[in-house]
Structure 1
Amino acid sequence: MTDRTAESRAASAAPAEPADAPAPLLIPGQDAEALRDHAVATLTRARARTALLTSCVDEDDLTAQHSPLMSPLVWDLAHIGNQEEQWLLRTVGGHDAVRPDIDSIYDAFEHPRSERPTLPLLPPAEARAYAADIRDRVLDVIERTPLDPGTPLLSSGFAYGMIAQHEQQHDETMLITHQLRKGPAALHAPEPPAPDAGDAARLPAEVLVPAGPFAMGTSTEPWALDNERPEHQRLVPAFHLDTVPVTNGAYKAFIEDGGYGDERWWAPAGWAQIREHGIAAPLFWRRDGNEWLRRRFGTVEPVPDDEPVLHVSWYEADAYARWAGRRLPTEEEWEKAARHDPATGASRRYPWGDAEPAAEHANLGQRHLRPARAGSYPAGASPLGVRQLIGDVWEWTSSDFLPYPGFTVFPYPEYSKVFFGGDHKVLRGGSFAVDAVACRGTFRNWDLPVRRQIFSGFRTARDA
């Protein structure tokens, strides 16, 4: 998951109020006091999750690097506090630095993840105390600082939303670290609600999304990030899209048909990747006789056929789609399916409408530690009947991560601009590990096409 929001170098280098920044609008009908309460509640929810992820293991686990792909958990903990200090305490609040001596240590651009265990990191108790001290000071900043619509970082509390998203993104990366760590389960959660079996059985395999224009992106979502902006028109030809994400059972058929051994289905770089690393199944899967097992947060269990497939790279998703005689949807196809209302021509915030996500809409926020079964959450369906577009698994698209027409950097280039190009593929929709503040119909995630440790799945499409 992208955990790039508000990283250190940009906080010290970018002006607090860029002249060309797209100012978020005030949330309609929400006064300043309600907006402050919303910001505090969102930040508090993020901090409670951070505490859970860092208190359920011992200090050795917190300071260990469980994979060179990930930071030690204690690095993420102090980094969260350091970003909050730089953006909310220093930039927004105008306060003197509390710990300028650690800015470089927790600069994600200066130190790749593989190097972070070698740094003089704050030990767990000191990291917790530092993050708590910064939060106490920030709550005072929120109380005392006017929400000035003429100041882009403060309009609609944008800076507070940016930092809440940053913390939740790091919470998702910490959950990935928990999945990668060896040893017994440290996290527990209830199972997702089961779908109505009859309802799920009646779902069509695919849905026709009719041709026509739609409004992609946003110019009004108050806490949207720069790569989601501005709203612009896209003309999308008609296409068919899977009603639900590709399931484990469907993916097993690809494996059993020799999909990993047939070069026809693979992009050249993907074929080289699976051959070099001996990849023959999704990450964390292993075969035991005639049965497929997986490791999930310290527990080994049979792979459930009716659950969306998880931990596959873009190359694996693309190969499956080719094998099935289909393709991955483009980013604009995915967003049109998720947001366009054919009855009104409007683009919704979410598939179900403009209301904030609730438990009946989507599997979000680490409420459960797995995707829900395919066909779940009928209340979260799009107007055309596509399900589980939000939550459960990040969905790979065929699109490279590129700027929208009229893109403007805000509040600094290192959030999005430096990642634009053909190296990164776009993922949409969020996963069970994503909080609602960092997931909406316009939200764009991106990653390298080899990545498998992320909570990624996919659905397929075909031309109409």
Structure 2
Amino acid sequence: MTDVSPLTEAPNPVRELSDEALRSRAAGALERARARSTALTAAVDDDDLVRQHSKLMSPLVWDLAHIGSQEELWLVRDVGGREPLRPDIDDLYDAFQHPRASRPSLPLLGPAEARAYVAEVRAKAFDVLERAPMTGRPLTEAGFAFGMITQHEQQHDETMLATHQLRKGDPVLHAPAPPAARSGPLPGEVFVPAGPFVMGTSLEPWALDNERPAHEVEVDAFHLDTVPVTNGAYVEFLEDGGYDRRELWSAAGWAYRTEHDITAPRFWRREPDGWWRVRFGVHEPVPADQPVVHVSYYEAEAYAAWAGKRLPTEAEWEKAARFDPATRESRRYPWGNDDPTPEHANLGQRHLSPAPAGAYPKGASALGVHQLIGDVWEWTSTDFAGYPGFRAFPYREYSEVFFGPEYKVLRGGSFGTDAAAVRGTFRNWDYPIRRQIFAGFRCARDAAPGERA
């Protein structure tokens, strides 16, 4: 009888750091987030900061002050036990009290006042960080509260980046083009064998509540696209009448498509010489080799049906991303347990578009799937829900209030996601109609009966 090694979750080296090293790590992450927030808000004038560029989004100045408000609540008041700086604005920047469409009508802090407020909060937060224990409370264990606030700011930075994409006018953001494809010819699909793996995490110190706890999940054998669906492949769907073929769409998807007259990915338009897009104010031909972006769940679902496939479940996506069949370990990232570098993934607004398929061979998973982290968020077919044993922490409004069939899970992060706010276990979610987010997809299909080993 052959011994089978147990399924495990990769250990996290952060847990071995000294308190001083944890503080240094947290400070660096907070500084990187603030540098990005500053760049996104300094790129436009004050009129642009207070303007609502789309009813789907807040004015940029709201996001900026909201970042400071959350930092004050959790780091200054809770962890630090300090007196409130601006209790009078708590309600203004409570995202649950004021929907985005109504935020411009609120008595918000102006640009100068918002900048001064977030700077004052940050100074006090750094003072708290110098003294806060790294043990004793779940909120401070391994610097969790500082990691939570870093991720919160980076998530709003990605939201502000999406607002920039919706903004009209000349380009104000600039970045080098992503690297070219570096892989040789890749197979169209990767086979993922049947069997269990460890999903989620109990060891990642900065993991958020919906990523926890680690648990075993059985997954049937399936095939998964090696890379996300590219613009070139998506154009084939367009040219084959994909948006006009009712049989490809779910009832909800078809109703949404027809009601809103959706005929292509958002920001695309057809010209006499082909498809063009608007990308942060730049008008350019749609690059065939990049992953398609700005498509809803319903569009992804229809494409998959056209291709004779389906969207992967969340568990399938995570197994393809994390499971190493040689060690039976679930890795922190597809490539292993080391933090992302520019050789692994397109993250952190380093580039302002997805990279071509095959651009990050060093980021491939143990099973040979590419670009699972970065480039585009990937729609899955799974409704957002808690894992077995889920416990809301530190507040229900981060995850639990969104559980249900109204939201679909997205995985993997985009070119606009910072490394601090994405990992192999990280879960995003949104309404299936959303197209302004940096979302794409890849397809899956069931294995044939003879392939299930």
Shorter-chain TM-score tier: over 0.9
Residue of structure 1 equivalent to 2:118: 131
**Aligned: 1:164 with 2:150:** yes
**Aligned: 1:260 with 2:243:** yes
Q: Is the 8 A contact 1:214 1:233 kept in 2?
A: yes
Q: Is the 8 A contact 1:365 1:436 kept in 2?
A: yes
Question: Which letter does structure 2 place at the counterpart of 1:413?
Answer: R
Equivalent residue in structure 2 for 1:102, among 57, 82, 89: 89
Separation in structure 2 between the aligned mates of residue 276 and residue 109 of structure 1, nearest angstrom: 28
Equivalent residue in structure 1 for 2:181, among 195, 199, 212: 195
SS in 2 for 1:27: helix
Separation in structure 2 between the aligned mates of residue 100 and residue 406 of structure 1, nearest angstrom: 35
Separation in structure 2 between the aligned mates of residue 147 and residue 337 of structure 1, nearest angstrom: 34
Identity fraction in percent: 68
Equivalent residue in structure 2 for 1:111, among 98, 105, 125: 98
Residue of structure 1 equivalent to 2:307: 324
Instruction: Report the alpha carbon displacement of residue 290 of structure 1 after superposing the two structures with TM.
Output: 3.9
Separation in structure 2 between the aligned mates of residue 373 and residue 271 of structure 1, nearest angstrom: 30
Equivalent residue in structure 2 for 1:406, among 365, 389, 399: 389
Separation in structure 1 between the aligned mates of residue 178 and residue 167 of structure 2, nearest angstrom: 23
Q: Is the 8 A contact 1:25 1:156 kept in 2?
A: no
Q: Is the 8 A contact 1:26 1:155 kept in 2?
A: no
Separation in structure 1 between the aligned mates of residue 271 and residue 393 of structure 2, nearest angstrom: 50
Residue of structure 2 equivalent to 1:183: 169
SS in 1 for 2:15: coil
Question: Which letter does structure 1 place at the counterpart of 2:91?
Answer: S
Separation in structure 2 between the aligned mates of residue 169 and residue 429 of structure 1, nearest angstrom: 13
SS in 1 for 2:317: helix
**Aligned: 1:214 with 2:201:** no
Render the CA deviation track for 1:359-385: whole Å, top value 9, x for unaligned.
100000000000000111000000111
Aligned pairs for 1:222-241 within 5 A: 222-241=205-224
Separation in structure 2 between the aligned mates of residue 333 and residue 34 of structure 1, nearest angstrom: 35
Q: Is the 8 A contact 2:351 2:415 kept in 1?
A: yes
Render the CA deviation track for 1:369-404: whole Å, top value 9, x for unaligned.
000001110000001110000000000001000110
Separation in structure 1 between the aligned mates of residue 14 and residue 375 of structure 2, nearest angstrom: 28
Question: Which letter does structure 1 place at the counterpart of 2:443?
Answer: T
**Number of matched residues?**
437
**Aligned: 1:272 with 2:259:** no
**Aligned: 1:311 with 2:297:** no
Unpaired stretches in structure 2, ≥5 consecutive residues = 1-10, 448-453
Residue of structure 1 equivalent to 2:359: 376
Render the CA deviation track for 1:335-354: whole Å, top value 9, x for unaligned.
00000001000000000000
Question: Which letter does structure 2 place at the counterpart of 1:277?
Answer: H
Residue of structure 2 equivalent to 1:392: 375
**Aligned: 1:122 with 2:109:** yes
Q: Is the 8 A contact 1:226 1:408 kept in 2?
A: yes
Separation in structure 2 between the aligned mates of residue 310 and residue 25 of structure 1, nearest angstrom: 32
SS in 1 for 2:324: coil
Q: Is the 8 A contact 1:62 1:124 kept in 2?
A: yes
Instruction: Report the alpha carbon displacement of residue 25 of structure 1 after superposing the two structures with TM.
Output: 8.8
User: Structure 1 residues 86 and 25, CA, compared in 2 at 3 Å: closer, same or farther?
Assistant: farther
Render the CA deviation track for 1:439-458: whole Å, top value 9, x for unaligned.
00000000000000000000
Instruction: Report the alpha carbon displacement of residue 412 of structure 1 after superposing the two structures with TM.
Output: 1.1
Equivalent residue in structure 2 for 1:55, among 25, 34, 42: 42
Separation in structure 1 between the aligned mates of residue 157 and residue 308 of structure 2, nearest angstrom: 37
**Aligned: 1:336 with 2:319:** yes
Instruction: Report the alpha carbon displacement of residue 27 of structure 1 after superposing the two structures with TM.
Output: 2.7
Q: TM-score, normalised by structure 1?
A: 0.93
Alignment RMSD (CA, Å): 1.0
SS in 2 for 1:28: helix
Residue of structure 2 equivalent to 1:10: none
Separation in structure 1 between the aligned mates of residue 17 and residue 80 of structure 2, nearest angstrom: 22
Equivalent residue in structure 1 for 2:138, among 152, 155, 171: 152
Q: TM-score, normalised by structure 2?
A: 0.95
Unpaired stretches in structure 1, ≥5 consecutive residues = 1-23
Instruction: Report the alpha carbon displacement of residue 83 of structure 1 after superposing the two structures with TM.
Output: 0.5
Equivalent residue in structure 2 for 1:79, among 63, 66, 79: 66
Separation in structure 1 between the aligned mates of residue 181 and residue 444 of structure 2, nearest angstrom: 23
Q: Is the 8 A contact 1:26 1:156 kept in 2?
A: no
Residue of structure 2 equivalent to 1:7: none
Question: Which letter does structure 1 place at the counterpart of 2:150?
Answer: A
